[in-house]
Amino acid sequence: MTDFIHRFEPATSAGSPPLLLLHGTGGDENDLLGLGGMISPGSALLSPRGRVLEHGMPRFFRRLAEGVFDEEDVRRRALELGGFVADARKQYGIAVPIAVGFSNGANIAAALLLLKPEVLAGAILLRAMVPLSDPPKAELGGKPVLLLSGQADPIVPASNSAKLAALLSEAGARVDHKVLPAGHQLSQADVTLTRNWIGSVEAKAA
């Protein structure tokens, strides 16, 4: 299996979609397990640790400055992560997962949607930015995407998250973009909206 340190928790409910949990800068494979359990009780949880270190803090790709990404590294790391997910699906016998990414994890999830859309069944992007200035033409074929932005987010400008929503919509995703009265950190509203959204995706799939 592609060499990602990770945690896997098997499903306890057959009907719940598997979740790929992608932490923010400085997080690790344990960070979002609690969130995963809250938003989709019973789902299998696959949670890798980012393989890039920035001042000792794990991330999923390199950046040149705050909000300025090393796009060559974004592409390479997204393909690596896609390979890890494919291997993990075989090893653990899980379906195509829905990504749940926060901050840097949301950005790599958005890159995965654009570069290897077959790896994900959909995505929950919490405080995401446009990951690539010149993305490939992706065909997302109605994949569901929830994008939750913070109105007072000092890291992600409102124009950037709106551009990401437009980019994913143009690629064929069914994007639900909400701007919350929050900053960059997650709020209770994020948890509630995410849980309800997964419930509606499950209901449609059923």
- Among the options 70, 176, 184, 187, which is catalytic? 184
- For strand 122-126 and strand 45-48, is the pairing parallel, antiparallel, or unpaired? unpaired
Q: In the predicted model, what is the mean pLDDT of residues 85-106?
A: 97
Confidence band, pLDDT 50/70/90 cuts, at residue 106: very high
Best CA proximity match to 172, nearest among 125, 113, 95, 127: 113
pLDDT reading at 1 higher than 60 = no
pLDDT tens, 73-92? 999 999 999 999 999 999 99
* Rounded Cα–Cα distance for residues 177 and 149 (Å): 8
Annotated active-site residue in 103, 149, 161, 190: 103
Strand partners, 69: 63
Percent of the chain with pLDDT over 70: 99
> Is there a catalytic annotation at residue 153?
yes
SS (H, E, C) 129-182: CCCCCCCCCCCCCCCEEEEEEECCCCCCCHHHHHHHHHHHHHCCCEEEEEEECC
The one catalytic residue in 6, 40, 47, 153 is 153
Instruction: Read off the tokens for 9.
Output: 């928790």
Please write the tens of the pLDDT for every residue from 30-45.
Answer: 999 999 999 999 999 9
